[in-house]
Structure 1
């Protein structure tokens, strides 16, 4: 919001929310309203890792009984075969639960899941854009792309995309040009995040977003 021009002594008390009594996670992004912005932050950065749940008494008893049964079976087999020594069966470690920072599927998206879903939509839309789009199709694609810096929920992501689009305007001449433009834009983001660049040749793009690999593994 723009600042007022009234004298500082007569200015009303700031409407910023009072500081929370609970300290914020170190990776939490603060939104333009001064509040924690979950959609701007990766889940693992704002959700503290949960401690591993201890095994219940029933589960512990079942594991002990299973290990005892396996040891007894090994002993009987060794005696029947005349083996002189018996190596006890090593206890199996308990099954590990899902990683503490795994994002539950039923939860709203965080910044990473939102980003992946958005890029999937954009790349796939470009892959099916016409080879010879009509003026109306070009105009609609430009409207879609130029709406992202305004409507995208992650504020700092939207601002960066808007600056990148000003530097490199979208190329909507045809599906090849649009696919490559999106790939190069995505690669710019990947470089900032320390990720690998993707091959922006149309063959690689079609394999990834339209036709699938030539080995038929995607059907």
Structure 2
């Protein structure tokens, strides 16, 4: 088995590493927030609050810290803009802790909904 074949096999058959898990989780969360309604029904607000809280409480790497973040600033589910801004702030807290660059939260919809400069339109 070549090195490339081994790498490909591992990607398909081994558990994800911390970096892969982080990217996949943040992608899911930011995408869910970006497509959240501008005027959510009460049931949508409750389900999104439960979704975000559940993931953050059970996340294997930062579960305890996420609980603290939620106590400091509960999930904002009033509308798409509030939820996306809240999530961006939470993500930036994690990035700061990890020594990674933070994201300009004014660009969340460019990144997760429209694409930067609409470059992702098909």
The normalised TM-score by structure 1 is: 0.49
The unaligned stretches of length 5 or more in structure 1 are: 1-52, 54-96
Matches within 5 A, 1:153-168: 154=60, 156-168=61-73
Q: Determine whether 1:169 maps to 2:74.
A: yes
Name the CA shift for 1:186/1:149 in 2 (closer, same or farther; >3 Å).
closer
Q: 1:122 aligns with which of 29, 32, 37?
A: 29
**Shift >3 Å, 4+ stretches:** 101-104
Aligned counterparts of 1:103 and 1:110: Cα–Cα separation in 2: 14
Larger RCO, structures 1/2 (Cα 8 Å, 6+ apart): 2
Shift of 1:213: 2.1
Counterpart in 2 of 1:110?
17
Describe the shift of the 1:131–1:191 C-alpha distance in structure 2 as closer, same or farther (beyond 3 A).
same
TM alignment of 1:64-213, pairs within 5 A: 104-106=10-12, 107-152=14-59, 154=60, 156-201=61-106, 204-213=107-116
Do 2:57 and 2:66's aligned partners in 1 also have CA atoms closer than 8 Å? no
> 5+ unaligned residues in a row in structure 2: which ranges?
none
Q: 1:138 to 1:163 in 2, by over 3 A?
A: same
> Counterparts of 2:9 and 2:113 in 1: how far apart (Å)?
28
